[in-house]
Each structure stands twice: as C-alpha cells, then as structure tokens.
Amino acid sequence: MRRSLEANLIMIFRLFVGLEMVILSFVPLAEYLLYQQISFMEDPFFSLLYQSAILFVYLSFNRFKYKLQRLYLPIAILIAVMIPSYINSRYVLGAISAGESISMTHEWALLPLLLIPLVPMAWQYDFKSTFILFGGLSVLEIFAVIIVNQGVNESILEYLYATFIRGISLLLVAFMISQMMHVQREQRNQLKTANLKLTRQALAIEEVAIIQERNRLARELHDTLAHTLSSLAVQLEAIKTVVDTDGEETIKPRLDDALMNTRSGLNETRRVLKALRATPLVELGLEQALYALVKGVQTVDGPSIALDLSRRIPILSKEMEQTIYRIVQESLKNSLKHAKATFIKVSLDYKDHVLLLLVDDDGVGFETKSSAKNSGYGINGLQERAEMMGGELKIESGKVQGTRIRFEVII
C-alpha cells in the first residue's frame, strides 16, 4: 500500500545512522592509541564506518528525496542492511573456508547494526515486507554457511543458533513496531473522521441558522411590506374608479403611475420573498426532498410513482444534489404531462464510484432522433445540467415503449 513518509521518520533514521558513525569512529581512535597506527583497509569496522558516513550524507540532503521520491527510503534501508550483512558474511564464510573458528563477536555485533534500518522499515511499511527482507536475509545466511561448510557439524552449530536467534529477535521487534504503527494509523484515521463529522455538523448548524433567519425575514416582509403594498394597490384602484371627471386629465395619469409603481414593488417583494424562503432541497436534504417531490405530484387518478434510494449514496455536493433534484423534477413533470404513464420509477444508486440515476415510465415514448426538437421534455436543459457536473445523461425512448432517463456520473 502506497503511503506518504511518516512524520520525522527520516530525521530519526539519520539520527541513528549518525550515532552509528560516531560509535564506529572510536575504533580507529582506539587503534591509534593502542598501536600508534590505523589500518583503514584491513579492519571491517572501517568499511562499516564508510557505509554509515555515506548513508548519513544521503539522508541529510533533501535533493535525493525529491529526485528519487518513492525509492528514497528503500535505497537507504537496503544500504543499511546489505553492506553490514555482506561484510559479516564475507568474514564468516572466509573463516569457514580457512578452517578457522567463527568469532561470535562479529555475529552479535551485526544485531544493533541491523536494528537501525529495521526501525524505519517497520515504521513505514507493513510487517510482511519487513519479514521478507530480514527473515529472508537470515535464511540465506544460514544456507550459505551450511553450503560452504558442506553440511552441519558442531563447528557451526553455535553460529547457526546465533543467526536464528538474531533473526527471530529482529522480527519480534519489527512486529511490535508494525502493530504500534497500525494502531496509531487507525487512531489517526478515526480522528480525521471525527474532525470531518464535526466540521460537517458545524456547517449544517450554520446552514440551519441561515435558513431560519431567511425564513424569519421572509415572514416579516410578508406580514409588513407585502401587506402594505397590497393595501395600497387596492386603495389606488378604488381612488381611480371614483375620481371626479373634472380632475381626470390631471389626477388619473398620476394614479396610473402610482398604481404601476405599487404593483412593480409588490411583484419585486414577492420575488424577494420567494428567493429568501428555503427550497425543499436545502431545507430537507436530497432524500427527503425527493420524497416530498414525489408526494407533491402524486395524485389519486395519476400514475403510481415508486422511489428507490440506495443507502450506499455518499455525501454529495450541493451542486450535485441540485442537479439530481432538477433532473427528477423535470422528468416527473414530463412523464405526467406527456407520457400518459401508469407507473413511474425513480431509482438512485452508487457503486464503484459511479452514481446512477434512473427515471423510468411505461407511458407513450417518443423518437429520440427528434428529441432535440421536442421541447416538452426539456432535453437540452437536462443534458446541460448533467454536463456541468461532468456526467452523462441519456434518454432511451420510442413510440411503442416507455421512456428511460439515465444520468451517470463518476464521483
């Protein structure tokens, strides 16, 4: 599974490698103090010192990270694992070939060196990957020793046992780290989910407050300004009918202007009231708004309408909900007005990141080739809404069959 690098992982890895480099640098210092010379090429400790220095430089420059990206950490882990293992194996196999006894110091000295790459690997990746690398390395080392020794005897038993214990110890540590990281990632995901829910809840509360305030303003305007303008219009009409004939030429034009302005203000007030009041979609949500829409158009002598909404539908954007609502609204209107259907089914489902809306009726269809000319179905408007959301709207119909409106979009 691909995931971004864990926070501070590279910094911890670099710190471990830096400590390894400092500790290994004591070897030439002790050698110089004891023997007044330093054998850089003969002692394997110096090869490990070179390896740790190179790895420290590699982990210190972000340029390598940006260039290599996903390969950055695996390369560092392989360098930290393979070079110490190769040095140790070369010594062990050389000692066996020469018939010399194997020093357990080299074998156990490899344990802390392998712990350094083990920690970041178990931290970043799953236990399976760590098991393959470190478990496989121990198995290969055991088989290589048995092959070079031409079998198993007492001279290598201690070494094989130490290698086995070392491998088991590393895998146990890796398992514990992997389990802790798994729990931490689960808790992190739960925290993200909880934060997302809180954010959505806060937005919902804010939206409800806005809706309530808009409805309150709409009621206030309706009860005051709208009523006042309506009364004024009625009074102006009454004055207009009873105005004296003598003043008709001077008063009546002004009354006409006042009446026109009053009616204009009343229409504008009604428009503002309509805009202020929450739509069913905003007030109820998509599911309840669709149920309310079906209930609103359902009549005793009209066609039966079935609504099938899947429980798998994810949280949709306001624009997507608006598109679905308008497509269903327009489709039902056209089916009721033109199709003479006896049954209409509206279904909304979500599967494999695809949202699918179907509106089927068993009424009189039409030829889809001439659908562009058929303004009764508002096909152009429906298709424009679908395209704006990155979806596709298809209409399947015919004179001898019903009509299916299919809206499909990838989310």
pLDDT digit string (tens) for 129-138?
999 999 999 9
Residue 401 pLDDT more than 50? yes
Cα 192 versus chain centre, distance = 11
Which tokens sit at 312? 């798998």
- Please state the rounded mean pLDDT for residues 95-104: 79
Burial 24-63 (b: 16+ CB within 10 A, else e): beebbeebeeeeeeeeeeeeebbbbbebbbebbebbeeee
pLDDT of residue 367: 64
**The residue type at 321:** E
Q: What confidence category does residue 148 fall into, taking pLDDT thresholds of 50, 70 and 90? A: confident
pLDDT of residue 89: 85
β-sheet with 392-398: strand ranges across: 304-309, 343-351, 354-361, 401-410, 392-398
Which tokens sit at 224? 């005051």
More confident site: 246 or 182: 182
Residue 282 pLDDT more than 70? no
More confident site: 308 or 400: 308
pLDDT of residue 321: 87
Q: Quote the CA–CA distance of 211 and 276 in Å, as a whole number.
A: 8
Domains in the chain: boundaries: 9-197, 204-280, 281-410
Residue 369 pLDDT more than 70? no
pTM to 2 decimal places: 0.52
pLDDT of residue 330: 87
Q: What confidence category does residue 373 fall into, taking pLDDT thresholds of 50, 70 and 90? A: very low
pLDDT of residue 29: 72
Bridge partners, 395 (sequence order): 405
More confident site: 86 or 220: 86
| Among candidate residues 141, 164, 17, the one with its CA nearest the CA of residue 77 | 17
Show the DSSP H helices in 61-153 as ranges: 62-68, 72-97, 104-124, 127-130, 136-149
- Please state the rounded mean pLDDT for residues 276-290: 74
pLDDT of residue 279: 65
Question: Please, what CATH class does the domain formed by 281-410 belong to?
Answer: alpha beta
Task: Answer for the pair 317, 309: CB distance below 8 angstroms, yes or no.
Answer: no
- Please state the rounded mean pLDDT for residues 363-376: 59
pLDDT of residue 39: 58
- Please state the rounded mean pLDDT for residues 201-219: 73
pLDDT of residue 118: 93
Residue 173 pLDDT more than 90? yes
Least confident of 163-167, 275-279, 344-348, 386-390: 275-279
User: Average pLDDT, whole number, for the chain?
Assistant: 81
- Count the alpha carbons within 13 Å of 392 in the hemisphere toward its beta carbon: 4
